[in-house]
Chains A and B, each alone.
Chain A
């Protein structure tokens, strides 16, 4: 079932056409990876979906209805949650306080018990490995912080979660944890839009890959039907590109070709 679909979305900043005629469909229980080089329009797309910038033209259909996402709270009300790359957590506050920031239960006499119980529920649902929710976020590792940020986005019972570069700042083990988390979101029936630079991650968890190039759609692939080389070719716009040339050179020199990074 398609939860969110975009048709003919365009956005210009002055003379620059950041996005032109973008089409995108996200199903419930699907992980859609959006890939593209720097300046391909990934961030602009995230901002349109999360309500930071309204699109200039085109339609957004959410659960069968045409909707206008005019501001961030409108997006949240619809059920589109965004986890930004910088996570936007307050390091001086603890996990519960961060999870409920801006949505505290009982504003004039905070119900800490209810909030703590709900925090544990959320974190258990994600099988999160956080020993205590009463420690400040500063004490958590990068992967744990990512978990907290994702858990926070789940508070409003969203249908779609947008993850902006969820693994960019993480180590190997933490990346694996976040990828497990993405799979768990899919199992829970959410549509996940994952912006990523990392081909290995995309191949690992995504069902569908949408490639953006210079602000336009440049192909939508089922992950199982496509090789990393094909995706990179779509990203760069040529089969003979800097990545393939480098791979060929290293292959000739007797190294194993490096897989993965497009940047």
Chain B
């Protein structure tokens, strides 16, 4: 019998049925995972589709994926800071400033586009580093530091843009092309879907084999096969449906790639463990020998850098950087996306995939209400209500976890 299943108190959970009953058990215990966001998405899509039949059309969904990339990247950074139990309220301003820096260097100064992009990204990293230093050295709450940053970088953005207040990016530049017109060819999309499914199966199979060799229990091959087949069906359907019109945008693929990279870093590296540990119990992390200050700094740097990258994508998508770039609801949408995606505001819980799911919810609401010709006032109210619901779900499931003894 496997080393890890010898305790008589463990109920045996084999095969596909075992996996399903595990998920049900966990949800009952308050470990909801992605269930609320998936349910929320189904409800929102159903309602919006009934209100306006165009909503679930291929053209609109293609648009939705492209629109979600910029704020989604920013939300990915927010997930990281929330995991260590901190917050960054200045991501909107930093993204706006990043767009402005890009536009000024690229269009105003005539620098090559890659240099302008690099400058904007480095600017974001420096901002995050400064936050980290302020937080570590002076112990100022991140809430206050980044609130100051929100205002200061908004001011800097206006200053950088100068009196004109708006700079257009040339339509024939590669950057704008990437954000607006570059789509993955159909054959490559299907290939990527197959590669993803095969990779999921192979990595799962190798992992299971390694576990069995070490005398531990492992997922059966049938479970792995079902999982991979399900992924393949879902991906192939998405590719096919989006392919009815323009297809899958490269910008969205870029966003998904960032999500996958962050998922790996958070779940499979020592740094990721340290991030979760700091979010769960700072003192324990410190005594375990983790350099807590370095973890905080790395996370702030990562968040601001993602904000800068998001700003570049937004500017490219709009083909312009102006005074309202990164303003309005960008900040709150990014934070809302992270929270809706299941990242706890209390730290120590959440995944990179949360950012992907969360931003699709947020963007669906935004897109659906725009299709209904509703005013932005109503959009704000609805987004606010959804955010509130997400936080309530977070708090309630946290309470339920405590009573069921799951952190």
Stretch at the interface among A25-33, A88-96, A226-234, A254-262: A88-96
Q: What is the CA–CA distance of A103 and B273 in the complex, to the nearest angstrom? A: 10
Between A92, A108, A116, A139, the greatest number of chain B beta carbons within 10 A of the residue's beta carbon is seen for A92
CB distance from B348 to the nearest CB of A (A): 4
Residue contact B284 to A89, C-beta cutoff 8 Å? yes
Give chain B nearest CB distance to A25 CB in angstroms.
Answer: 27
Residue of A nearest to B7 (CB): A131
Task: Tell me the smallest distance from the CB of A134 to a CB of chain B, in Å.
Answer: 8
Question: Please, which residues of chain A bring their CB within 8 A of the CB of B156?
Answer: none
Which of A86, A103, A114, A137 is the one whose CB lies under 8 Å from B407? Answer: A137
Contact check, B216 vs A117: say whether CB atoms are below 8 A apart: yes
B279 close to A101 (CB less than 8 A):
no
| Cβ-closest chain A residue relative to B282 | A90
Report if A113 contacts B (CB, 8 A): yes
Which of B7, B10, B348 is A92 in contact with, Cβ under 8 Å? B348
Cα-based distance from A129 to B277 in the complex (angstroms): 24
- Bound-state CA distance A212–B9 (Å) is 44
A88-B281, A92-B280 are contacts. A136–B290 as well, Cβ < 8 Å? no
Beta-carbon contacts of A59-92 to B below 8 Å, as 1s and 0s? 0000000000000110010000000101111111
Contact with B along A166-184 (1 / 0, CB 8 A): 0000000000000000000
**A104 & B402 in contact (Cβ 8 Å cutoff):** no
When the two chains form the complex, which single residue of B216, B270, B402, B404 contacts A116, counting CB atoms closer than 8 Å? B216
> What string of 1s and 0s marks CB contacts (under 8 Å) between A112-123 and chain B?
011011001000
Contact present for B281 and A89 (CB under 8 Å): yes
Which residues of chain A are within 8 angstroms of B406 by Cβ–Cβ distance? 135-136, 138-139
Query: Smallest CB–CB gap between A96 and chain B, Å?
Result: 10
Interface string of A130-164 (1 = CB under 8 A from B): 11111111111000000000000000000000000
The CA of A84 and the CA of B215, in the complex, are separated in Å by 33
Asked if B273 and A101 make an inter-chain contact with CB atoms under 8 angstroms apart, the answer reads yes
Residue from B10, B268, B284 in contact with A90 in the complex, judged by beta carbons closer than 8 Å: B284
Evaluate whether A92 and B407 lie within 8 angstroms (CB atoms) in the complex, with A72-B287, A113-B216 already known: yes
Mark B1-25 against chain A: 1 for CB-CB distance below 8 A, else 0: 0011001011000000000000000
B236 part of interface (Cβ distance < 8 Å): no
B402, A108: Cβ atoms closer than 8 Å: no
- Could you tell me if B4 and A108 are in contact, using CB atoms closer than 8 angstroms? no
- Interface residue count for B (Cβ, 8 Å)? 37
State whether A93 touches B214 (Cβ < 8 A): no
What CA separation (Å) do A91 and B406 show in the bound complex?
8
What is the CA–CA distance of A139 and B285 in the complex, to the nearest angstrom?
19
Say yes or no: is A97 at the interface (Cβ < 8 Å to chain B). Answer: yes
* Residues of chain A lying within 8 A (CB to CB) of residue B163: none
A121: nearest chain-B partner, CB-CB: B3
Which residue on chain B has the smallest CB distance to residue A136? Answer: B407
Q: Does A107 contact B (CB under 8 A)?
A: yes
| B287 and A117 contact, CB distance less than 8 A | no
Known: A73-B289, A132-B7. A97 touches B402 (CB 8 A): no
From 340 to 376 in chain B, residues with beta carbon under 8 angstroms from any chain A beta carbon are 348-349
Interface residues of B in 142-195 (CB under 8 A from A): none
Q: B199: shortest Cβ distance to chain A, in Å?
A: 15
The yes or no answer to A252 lying at the interface (CB within 8 A) is: no
Also in contact, A114 and B290, with CB within 8 A (given A108-B270, A137-B407, A138-B402): no
Q: What is the size, in residues, of chain A's interface with B at 8 Å between Cβ atoms? A: 38
Bound-state Cα–Cα, A139 to B401, Å: 9
Q: Number of A-B pairs whose CB atoms are under 8 Å?
A: 106
A113 near B214 with CB under 8 A, answer yes
Inter-subunit contact A88/B405 (CB<8 Å): no
A16 within 8 A of partner (CB): no
B28 at interface by CB-CB < 8 Å = no
Contact A110 B273 (CB under 8 A): yes
Query: A109-B268, A110-B268, A138-B405 known; A88 and B288 CB under 8 Å?
Result: yes
* Residue in contact with B348 in the complex, picked from A90, A107, A108, A114, CB distance below 8 Å: A90
Q: Is the CB of B280 within 8 A of A90?
A: yes
Partner of B284, one of A76, A88, A130: A88
**A14: interface (CB < 8 Å):** no
Q: Is the CB of A101 within 8 A of B285?
A: yes
Does A110 lie within 8 Å of B277, measured CB to CB?
Answer: no
Q: Closest approach, in angstroms, between the C-beta of A108 and any C-beta of chain B?
A: 6
The one of B9, B207, B269, B276 that contacts A131, using a Cβ cutoff of 8 Å: B9
User: Is B283 an interface residue, CB under 8 A from the partner?
Assistant: yes
Q: Establish whether residues B349 and A92, one from each chain, have CB atoms under 8 Å apart when the complex forms.
A: yes
Q: Beyond A73-B289, A101-B284, A132-B7, is A91–B269 a contact (Cβ under 8 Å)?
A: no
A165 → chain B closest CB, angstroms: 16
Nearest chain B CB to A116's CB is how many angstroms away? 6
Query: Does B277 lie within 8 Å of A101, measured CB to CB?
Result: yes
Residue of A nearest to B2 (CB): A120
B283 to chain A, nearest CB (A): 6
Closest to A94 in B: B407
CA distance A114 to B215 in the complex (A): 11
A114 to B3, CA, bound (A): 13
B residues less than 8 Å from A129 (CB atoms) = 7
CB <8 Å contact, B288 and A138:
no
Looking at the assembled complex, report how far the CB atom of A124 sits from the nearest CB atom of chain B, in whole angstroms.
9
Assess A92 versus B276: contact at CB under 8 Å? Given A114-B214, A138-B407. Answer: yes
A109→B285 contact, CB < 8 A: no
Q: Write the chain B residue with the least CB distance to A105.
A: B270
Residues of the B chain whose Cβ atoms lie less than 8 Å from the Cβ of A116: 4, 211, 214, 216
Cβ-closest 7 pairs across A and B:
A138-B407, A107-B270, A102-B288, A90-B280, A92-B280, A88-B284, A92-B348
**Can you give 5 contacting A-B residue pairs, CB < 8 Å?**
A73-B289, A102-B290, A116-B4, A116-B216, A136-B407
Further 13 A-B residue pairs, CB within 8 A, beyond A72-B287, A90-B285: A72-B289, A76-B289, A90-B280, A91-B281, A91-B407, A93-B277, A101-B277, A109-B268, A109-B269, A116-B4, A117-B215, A132-B7, A133-B4
